[in-house]
Amino acid sequence: MVSRFIAVDQKGRVVVSYATRVRTQLVTRDRPSVDLRILRFSEDGKLDLSPSLPTHLEYWNGICLSDSGQIIAKTNDSLQLYQEDIGAWKVLAKCTSQCSVQQSVTRRTLAIRNEYHGPLLVIRLSPVLRLQQCDKVPKSSEDSIQYSPQAITDEFAYYSGSGGLEQFTYRWPFCDYEHRVELPLRPGGYWDLLNDHFFVFYPYAPREDEQTVKVVSPDGRVVFQSVNGKHEYALGIGNSTRSSEQGSRIAVNIVTLRGGNRSLDISSHATARRVAVYDIELRKEVASIPVSWKSHEFGFDLSPDGGRLAILENGILQVIDLDGKHIGSGMDSKLPAEKPK
């Protein structure tokens, strides 16, 4: 997540989460001192839902949404689904503070791994809730890749790495690593997955000739390449791409880096940051929202239809409608100091 703390659902509602200290008296594991608070804002900016969960960790929490807008929280060593109709939480699976959680862009599938060499648990959220455990024991370090996918879709897991001097990218059906297929992709940097047909490539290190975002097909063909300003670079670390459900639009964290000198081994430093939204089908940038590069708390998400961008920056929530009417205005509000329960 997935360690996300902001998400936009298919109705344009924005969900944010944060940990807050609520108890100063005797604390136990069953009654920890911290709550994970979750706020959902309606399409017109009104607070319409505010569930919470006790947690013994101030960090390592996160939220995501199902394809129907159900809230899923990672907290207190578990992954839990909020049942809005009865106002109760349902535990989906064990998920310790260090567990890895991935979600498909369609939001219909989750993959969880609690231990480094532990089995993968696949959770189908739609059309019906279903759990699938991949319980085969790895026979070798190469075989253990099946339990460490770097990205998933609703049907496949993906992994890109290197062996010796060779790079490789594998795709395989969940729990069926023996039928993996090697794709002719060599990312050469960070990468993300839009669907089974398109990947997003980012360079590892800023270079004038490799600073752009590239969308690439499985056969290595570049179908889109961004046009960035001078000294601008995309930060693609750790599944940071936010995508519409069909992968037709993506939101990317773009920073301006200055002052570096590669020959003298002097690191550059950030002087500006913005969230850029690219339309892959139209092959152009459709929005650019400036944000502070000094933000202590910063996150963003794109709605499933690609029409709404939400940005949370140091407690300020801004929502931008992208399709022509009032780009840059939208909803702009500070999260309440006293959060309703």
**3-state helix vs strand vs coil in the chain, percent to 5:** 0, 50, 50
DSSP annotation string for 48-99: EE--EEEES-SSS-EEEE-TT--EEEEETTEEEEEETTTTEEEEEEE--TT-
Give pLDDT, residue 267.
63
Task: Return d(Cα 133, Cα 118) in angstroms, integer.
Answer: 11
Report residue 206's pLDDT band, with 50, 70 and 90 as the boundaries: low
> Does 326 have pLDDT greater than 70?
no
Summarised one tens digit per residue, pLDDT across range 117-140 is 678 899 999 999 999 998 766 666
Tell me the pLDDT band of 86, cut-offs 50, 70 and 90: very high
- Cα separations (Å) of 231 from 41, 199, 254, 262? 36, 24, 10, 14
What is the reported pLDDT for 55? 84
Please give the Cα distance from 319 to 228 (Å, whole number): 23
Average pLDDT over residues 303-315: 92
Please tell me which residue, 236 or 72, carries the higher pLDDT value: 72
What is the rounded average pLDDT for all residues in the chain? 83
The pLDDT assigned to 261 comes to 56
**Average pLDDT for residues 72-96, to the nearest whole number?**
93
Q: Measuring CA to CA, which residue among 53, 54, 99, 58 is closest to residue 72? A: 53
Cα torsion 217, 220, 225, 228: sign: positive
Res. 205 pLDDT band, cuts 50 70 90: low
**Token couple for 53:** 């969960």
Domains of the chain: residue spans and CATH: 192-341 (2.40.128)
Integer-rounded Cα Rg, in Å, for the chain is 20
User: Token pair for residue 316?
Assistant: 């300020």
- Percentage with pLDDT > 70 across the chain: 81
Q: pLDDT at position 186, please? A: 84
The band of 187, judged by pLDDT with boundaries at 50, 70 and 90, is confident
**Is a pLDDT exceeding 60 seen at residue 208?**
no
Q: What are the backbone dihedrals phi and psi of residue 155, each rounded to the nearest 5 degrees, phi first? A: -125, -25
Summarize pLDDT for 46-76 with one digit per residue, the tens. 999 999 998 877 777 889 999 999 999 998 8
Q: What is the pLDDT of residues 246-288, one digit of tens each?
A: 999 999 998 887 766 555 555 667 788 899 999 999 999 999 9
The values of phi and psi at residue 178, to 5°, are: -65, -20
Global pTM reads: 0.86
pLDDT at residue 203 is higher than 90: no
d(CA 33, CA 22): 6
Model confidence at 221, pLDDT cuts 50, 70, 90, reads very high
Q: Which residues contact 282 (CB under 8 A, 6 or more apart)?
A: none
In this model, does residue 31 exceed pLDDT 80?
no
- The three-class DSSP label of residue 160 is strand
pLDDT computed for residue 38 by the predictor? 95
Q: Which residue reads 């992954």 in tokens?
A: 79
* pLDDT in the model for residue 54: 85
